[in-house]
Structure 1
Amino acid sequence: MKNRKISRYIHKAPIRVLKIKRLSYRLKIKRMMIQLNIALAQEKKETKEMIAIYQKYTRGNATKAEMRLANDQFIDILKGLGLGVFALLPFAPITIPLIIKLGKLVGVDVMPDMFNKKSKFK
């Protein structure tokens, strides 16, 4: 009888481990999607502010500090669009990390600020 319980426990243990791993992967993906949603919401807010600053600039009311913020946001948008082009190419999971690594070696930041590890949103 005892041997039967042990065999049942040993048989069910891998199934429990797989269920726990599957749950942890789901939670990890959910957490990453929430972080992405927060980062994209922040990016949307900054882009709206950038447009408002450029409108102020056309009227001659924008300060140099505001223009610096707007131009930095515009550069972030261009970085995102640049990586978006590579996302459409075949083998994107290989080419994008390669481009990021090459950019770091050369000293160029190719990632938008919302995706940087040192960002305040992560």
Structure 2
Amino acid sequence: MKVWRYVFRAPRRVVSIKRRKHTTQLKRQLVLVKYALAQEKKETHEMLSTYKRYTRRQASSEEMKIANKQFLDVLKGLGIGVFAVLPFAPLTIPIAIKLGKWVGVDILPSSFSEQQLRKQTVISDKKSLDP
């Protein structure tokens, strides 16, 4: 009896550990998306206030360049939104991103790209710390 218990106990434990690992990875990725969306919201708000000041002729040309760059990011987000409505969105969005990188076009807004760069630097820093 005890032998069977130990034989079946280990696979259950392994499965539960893997499940916890995957849920924590998913939570981390969702937190990164949350921060990227919060940054996009902040930048879009600044863009709108710059456009508002531009109508009153109070915005500088540098501020307008930054606002126009953010407007392009908003358009990129809308482009990805089209793919989100399509069927099989979990497949089409990554394929569209990969094809965009292959062609040389960045279809992700800048805050998402910056988040990926930060994530890569954290990973490279961890690798450099390992003996």
Q: Structure 1: any 5+ residue segments left out of the alignment? A: none
What value does the CA root-mean-square deviation take over the aligned residues? 1.8
CA distance in 2: counterparts of 1:12 and 1:71, whole angstroms = 59
Structure 1: 4+ residue segments shifted above 3 A: 4-7
The answer as to 2:109 corresponding to 1:89 is no
Provide the aligned length of Structure 1 versus Structure 2.
118
The answer as to 2:4 corresponding to 1:12 is no
Match of 1:54 among 51, 56, 61: 51
The Cα of 1:119 is off from its aligned counterpart by 5.4
Letter of the structure 2 residue corresponding to residue 99 of structure 1: A
The Cα of 1:70 is off from its aligned counterpart by 0.6
Q: Which has the larger radius of gyration?
A: 1
CA distance in 2: counterparts of 1:78 and 1:119, whole angstroms = 23
The Cα of 1:80 is off from its aligned counterpart by 0.5
CA distance in 2: counterparts of 1:71 and 1:17, whole angstroms = 51
- TM-score, normalised by the number of residues in structure 1: 0.86
CA distance in 2: counterparts of 1:83 and 1:75, whole angstroms = 13
Answer 1 or 2: which has greater helix percent.
Answer: 2
The answer as to 2:127 corresponding to 1:107 is no
Q: Structure 2: any 5+ residue segments left out of the alignment? A: 123-131
